[in-house]
């Protein structure tokens, strides 16, 4: 079959299935999630085998350490997927919630939460996203089309069949989840142009993935773009707080999007603070601006490319700035509007920073790593939106729904 | 200047202005709106003159009656714009509203409403949209780029200078409103690709406008698409209610998007109801399906094209269906997901219709003409979104904002 027809047929199936999902009972959806979690446990060994195929192929292709780390499925990560399914089953079903009721001009006006319809999730070679995305879409009543990275194709295909078995067992048509098994890149371009069949495209990944999706798409897109996150250590920062926080934001889990990539330090404290942070971040490679390198003699230069980089690794760009305004300007120019923070004792500067940094999440005296759907109490997240529309920042079950207005009258007409 | 550079320079100006608008005081914004309303009143005669130029040119081009009606600015419509400005000034400012506060894990988490940034509104030759769109964007703290239809260019340019005078008078930089004075269609294509400068594109208009915007756009788009709205008169409908409602939905203001274009009638009542509705809709041209024409002898055939048509005129397609399911299927196939209604005495059928018609607004025993931001109590609307994301149905001031998360900690770190 031509790739175009293949994508169209998948999209049509998803669209057809979306009608039955709209009014599917919460209990049945939760049972399906638990059933999938059991299948995952049962199929553990085959999953690891399929993943090993991907992993070995990736090693031969000399994919980066960070890439291989995200690709890997071990027992701990399979447990993670199982727990995630159970957790999603335990969350409240957002569908059907009446968000608002009014009685304008005598009739009843309801704003009701409903599924979006069909969602296409396009992601890189992180096999656990297969399960998370399917589970979140199912729970929110959406049919889903999964298009994972080609380097995780064997893991993805197996996880897809696990999902389908779980669905079948509770009597849900397994076609509510569609997995794109063909890896031609052209398939993505067809996928994002299925207006009328697909309602939303969520690309999760790096710059090139996002750019190619945005360029090709005619279906609405919510981007889950890279996290070039910053911490700005202001002149009045508490040094101990700043040291702990920079360490936490950089090293607690460097391969994720809410870890920081650039540290901005106020010039009035740079001479004192920079040696302390170098000492604290023993395992981190620092790359500095000119002033930083005049204080820390033995480090590499931070280039323009460094300031734009999402290292996802134990590397940190360091730049000295003279004012909070300069910090905000740097973030506006180089950041990805994901999560950026200030460490300061100045109320004026925290408010300036919070108002003027145009990012989904702004942290004040708190780690950027807290920018997370789970931590925010939104439940599991399908990702962190770096877009401004519909959903911004951590995107959970509610953000996978839309609403409809229902006017209930008894013969009400428009007079004026 | 090349059109590409012209559009870029406009977009850059708007982006620069958006920063100052973010924190502009509500009072100043309201004063600006009132100031614009006064200028409109003062400039009334010149506005009508400029509009006359457009109107005469339109008549020469033999534009349709409905088109010319939307193009026309008379005293009544200028009064309408003045009132709209006063009304928008009186609404609550959505910016800065703290939508939610939580204390997960000890830190304070705020979800704060903020302007979207820069909005480009692309519309057809309806000059009053110039004022409405500028006013709504200003009030919601957004810089706006207006691109009106080329057939209303003289009216648009003059209204733009009226807006700018009003802004200048209260000390707001008039550049917060940008009007695209060049009418090359290519300009629209450049406009909708200004990622990083423009945050949202709102196209309002017919199929060809929307399609060309969606095809070209890389900036997010919320479509304000045509209204192919339906009323379904079910077997158990109250005839008097149905007659009043069909008349209201079709004739009260036929040139607007929430007027109905197709009437669906249950087969069991068609023989009795159709002659009554024909009698009631004396001034309306009916076009019918085969069964309809076997009952009403003297009417034209409704073709496939008729079922897809947004007449915006005193024409109504009529189709007889056997079940509520068939009515829903017809609406799914031919409708524009705008506003569709059922007239019925059956609770079962009203719930089936409300759950299964995938439109922004579903009316039950109420006129589709009620689908309106003003009627819904949302305040003035920038239009009616036929999209599913961010805003669905009537889109008011709140829907012109987004949100940002602010984490306020005192050294909070991510532990797990």
The reply to whether B229-370 shares the fold of B3-224+382-407 is no
User: Do the Cβ atoms of A276 and A394 come closer than 8 Å?
Assistant: no
| C-alpha to C-alpha distance for B409 and A416, rounded to whole angstroms | 51
Residue A409 and residue B366: Cβ atoms within 8 Å? yes
Topology adopted by domain A3-224+382-407: Aldehyde Dehydrogenase; Chain A, domain 1 (3.40.605)
Rounded CA separation A38/B123 (Å): 53
Residue A374 binned pLDDT confidence (cut-offs 50, 70, 90): confident
For A375, the closest of B105, B393, B410 (CB atoms) is: B105
Instruction: Report pLDDT for B13.
Output: 97
Averaged pLDDT, B150-176: 97
pLDDT reading at B105 higher than 90: no
Per CB-CB distance under 8 Å, the chain A contacts of B215 are 218
Q: How many of the other CB atoms lie within 10 Å of CB of A80? A: 15
Of B117, B241, B387, which has the smallest distance from its Cβ to A411's Cβ?
B241
Smallest CA–CA distance, residue A60 to chain B, in Å, is: 33
| pLDDT for A378 | 83
SS3 B375: coil
The confidence score (pLDDT) of residue B208 equals 86
- Quick check: B65 pLDDT over 90? no
Residues in chain B: 416
Interface probe for A, chosen from B332, B411, B415, B416 (most Cβ of A below 10 Å), is B411
Measured between beta carbons, the chain A residues lying within 8 angstroms of B102 are 376-377
Q: What is the mean pLDDT of residues B152-175?
A: 97
- CA dist., res. B232 & res. B234, Å (int): 6
Lookup: tokens for B353: 């219709």
What number is the average pLDDT over the span A383-391?
92
Q: Which of B107, B389, B406 sits opposite A390 (nearest CB)?
A: B389
B366 contacts A408? CB cut-off 8 A:
yes
Say if the Cβ atoms of A414 and B252 lie within 8 Å.
Answer: yes
CB-CB contact of A107 with A1 (8 Å): no
What are the strands, taking DSSP E only, across A219-378? 229-233, 260-266, 285-288, 300-301, 315-321, 339-343, 361-366
pLDDT in the model for residue B80:
93
C-beta neighbour count of A246 within 10 angstroms: 27
Q: Residue A346, exposed/middle/buried by CB under 10 A (0-12, 13-18, 19+)?
A: middle
Q: Taking CB atoms and an 8 Å cutoff, what residues of chain B touch A416? A: none
Could you tell me what percent of chain A has a pLDDT over 90?
89
Contact across the interface for A366 and B411, Cβ inside 8 Å: yes
CA nearest to A23 within chain B: B355
Angle between helices B3-22 and A347-356 (to 10 degrees): 150
What pLDDT sits at residue B102?
Answer: 87
Structure tokens that stand for B317 in this block: 């397609």
Query: Confidence class of residue A65 from pLDDT cuts 50, 70 and 90?
Result: confident
Does A244 have pLDDT greater than 90?
A: yes
Check CB contact under 8 Å for A220 and B220: yes
pLDDT tens per residue across span A154-174: 999 999 999 999 999 999 999
Strand order in the sheet with A315-321: A300-301, A285-288, A315-321, A260-266, A229-233, A339-343, A361-366, B401-412, B108-115, B98-102
Closest CA to B7 of B133, B216, B189: B189
What would the mean pLDDT of B150-172 be, rounded to a whole number?
97
Best CATH choice for the domain A229-370 from the list 3.40.50.2000, 3.40.390.30, 2.40.170.20, 3.40.309.10: 3.40.309.10
Q: What is the pLDDT of residue A268?
A: 98
Between B67 and B171, the higher pLDDT residue? B171
φ/ψ region of A120 (left if φ > 0, alpha if ψ in -120 to 50, else beta) reads beta
Q: In angstroms, what CA-CA distances link B268 with A241, B106, B233, B312?
A: 76, 64, 11, 29
Nearest chain A Cα distance for residue B402, angstroms: 6
- Do the beta carbons of residue A248 and residue B411 sit within 8 Å? no
Buried b (16+ CB within 10 A) or exposed e, A18-34: beebbebeeeebbbbbb
Name A11's Cβ contacts closer than 8 Å, sequence gap at least 6.
A118, A145, A178, A191, A194, A197, A198
pLDDT for res A311: 93
Q: What angle do CA A284, A288, A289 make, to 5 degrees?
A: 165
Q: Which runs of consecutive H residues, i.e. helices, occur in A72-206?
A: 75-90, 128-139, 153-169, 185-191
Vertex A402: Cα angle to A84 and A96 (nearest 5): 75
Average pLDDT, chain A: 95
> Are B104 and A392 in contact (CB < 8 Å)?
no
Looking up tokens 């942070």 gives A277
pLDDT-based confidence at residue A205 (cuts at 50, 70, 90)? confident
Helical (H) or strand (E) element with B289: none
| DSSP string over A336-352 | -SSEEEEE-S-HHHHHH
What are phi and psi for residue B352, nearest 5 degrees? -60, -45
Tokens of A25: 């009972």
Question: Are the Cβ atoms of B366 and A215 closer than 8 angstroms?
Answer: no
ipTM of the complex: 0.91
φ, ψ dihedrals at B266, nearest 5°: -65, 140
Task: Give per-residue pLDDT as tens, A345-364.
Answer: 999 999 999 999 999 999 99
Smallest CA–CA distance, residue B151 to chain A, in Å, is: 27
Residue of B47, B53, B35 lying closest to B75 (CA atoms): B47
Nearest CA-CA partner of B195 in A200, A192, A388, A394: A388
pLDDT on residue B395: 93
Pairing of strands A361-366, A339-343: parallel
Residue A234 has pLDDT above 90, yes or no: yes
Kindly list the domain boundaries of chain B, sorted by start residue.
3-224+382-407, 229-370
CA atoms of A266 and A164, how far apart (whole Å) = 54
Give me A214's structure tokens: 């945005």
Say if residue A207's pLDDT is above 90: no
pLDDT tens by residue, B17-46? 999 999 899 999 999 999 999 999 999 999
Name A109's bridge partners: A102, A407
Greatest Cα pair distance, chain B, in angstroms, is 80
């Amino acid at each position: 079959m031509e790739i175009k027809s293949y994508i169209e047929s998948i999209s049509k199936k998803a669209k057809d299935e979306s009608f039955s999902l709209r009014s599917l009972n919460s209990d049945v959806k939760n049972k399906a999630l638990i059933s999938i979690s059991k299948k995952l446990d049962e199929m553990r060994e085959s999953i690891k085998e399929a993943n090993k195929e991907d992993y070995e192929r990736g090693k031969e292709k000399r994919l980066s350490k960070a890439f291989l780390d995200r690709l890997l499925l071990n027992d701990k990560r399979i447990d993670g997927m199982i727990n995630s399914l159970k957790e999603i089953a335990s969350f409240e079903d957002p569908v059907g919630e009446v968000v608002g009721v009014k009685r304008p001009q005598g009739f009843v006006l309801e704003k009701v939460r409903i599924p979006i319809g069909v969602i296409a999730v396009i992601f890189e070679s992180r096999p656990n996203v297969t399960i998370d995305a399917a589970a979140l879409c199912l729970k929110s009543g959406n049919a889903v089309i999964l298009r994972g990275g080609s380097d995780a194709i064997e893991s993805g295909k197996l996880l897809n069949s696990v999902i389908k078995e779980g669905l079948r067992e509770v009597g849900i048509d397994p076609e509510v989840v569609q997995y794109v098994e063909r890896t031609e890149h052209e398939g993505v371009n067809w996928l994002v142009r299925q207006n009328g069949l697909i309602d939303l495209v969520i690309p999760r990944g790096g710059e090139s993935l996002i750019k190619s999706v945005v360029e090709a798409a005619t279906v609405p897109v919510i981007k889950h773009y890279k996290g070039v996150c910053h911490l700005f250590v202001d002149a009045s920062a508490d040094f101990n707080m700043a040291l702990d926080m920079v360490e936490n934001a950089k090293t607690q889990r460097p391969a994720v999007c809410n870890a920081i990539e650039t540290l901005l330090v106020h010039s009035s404290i740079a001479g004192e603070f920079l040696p302390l942070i170098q000492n604290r971040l023993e395992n981190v490679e620092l790359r500095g601006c000119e002033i930083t390198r005049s204080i820390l003699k033995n480090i590499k230069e931070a280039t323009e490319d460094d300031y734009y980089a999402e290292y996802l690794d134990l590397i940190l760009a360091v730049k000295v700035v003279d004012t909070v305004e300069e910090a905000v300007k740097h973030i506006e120019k180089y950041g990805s509007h994901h999560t950026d923070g200030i460490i300061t004792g100045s109320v004026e500067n925290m408010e300036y920073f919070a108002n003027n940094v145009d990012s989904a999440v702004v942290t004040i005296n708190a780690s950027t790593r807290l920018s997370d759907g789970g931590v925010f109490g939104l439940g599991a997240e399908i990702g962190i939106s770096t877009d401004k529309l519909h959903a911004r920042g951590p995107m959970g079950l509610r953000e996978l729904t839309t609403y409809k207005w229902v006017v209930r009258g008894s013969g009400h007409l428009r007079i004026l």
